Amino acid sequence: MLYRFFPRLLAVLVCAAVVIGAPARATAQCVDEALKGQLIGERAYRGVVPRLIKKSLRHEVSAQGGWFAGDLSDGAPAYGGAYTFHFTEDLGLEASYLRSRERFGLLDAIISRQQGLVGIVKARENPVQFFMGHLVWSIAYGKVRWMGGAISRFDFYLALGGGATVEPGDIGLTGSGGLGMKFYVTEWLALRWDVRDAVHQQKRVDLGIEKVVNDLTATAGLSVLIPFHS
């Protein structure tokens, strides 16, 4: 008689095992799916820095000052300003003006020793002005913590453009390129540093020189963004 009940007993045991084991497998599967989703989410957003300060469709007015290093002349202080319209977060159009002076220290030293060469240079210091336009491309945006204290946001950007270099009796077309960095103090106030290289043809009849030169400028400045809130 026992052999008749054995198949039924085996079927009951199998059903019980299935019923007991199903919730455990379902729970384990849910845990695996949740862990998988968490890992995928972390991998997708790792390294992304939220842009707290937005520039799109904002105006920027800057006051700048620094140093001008001419290819043919000595270095001299430079000052000016810039206006930038940011039509996206990454791209903007900048119009700038910079003024400095060309000084010829070497010729002054020769003149002081050889009085007969005084007539070489008509004007020992000549004003030079740069009227430039640039396309500004922000290639990096991030944040930095200062000595474990406050956190500042910054932009690193490239600039490419051109304009005109105005000297006494000469106006020359100029190509320009450079790079810069901007640290945001608030949503509307920023500190900026720029290095630009102006390439143009310089002609000095009194010196008998006509050549393509690279005039470098390094400036620092203060920028105000309008509207004041991003």
Are the C-beta atoms of residues 93 and 83 closer than 8 Å to each other?
no
Instruction: Give the per-residue pLDDT at 72.
Output: 76
Instruction: Give the per-residue pLDDT at 119.
Output: 53
In 3D, which of 121, 119, 127 has the Cα closest to residue 170? Answer: 127
Radius of gyration of the chain (CA): 34
- Maximum average pLDDT range among 21-25, 111-115, 203-207, 225-229: 225-229
Helices (H), 46-166: 105-113
DSSP state letter for 55? -
Are the C-beta atoms of residues 219 and 76 closer than 8 Å to each other?
no
pTM > 0.75: yes or no: no
CATH of 58-226, one of 2.40.160.20, 1.10.540.10, 3.40.50.300, 3.20.20.70: 2.40.160.20
Are the C-beta atoms of residues 6 and 13 closer than 8 Å to each other?
no
**pLDDT band at residue 2 under the 50/70/90 scheme:** very low
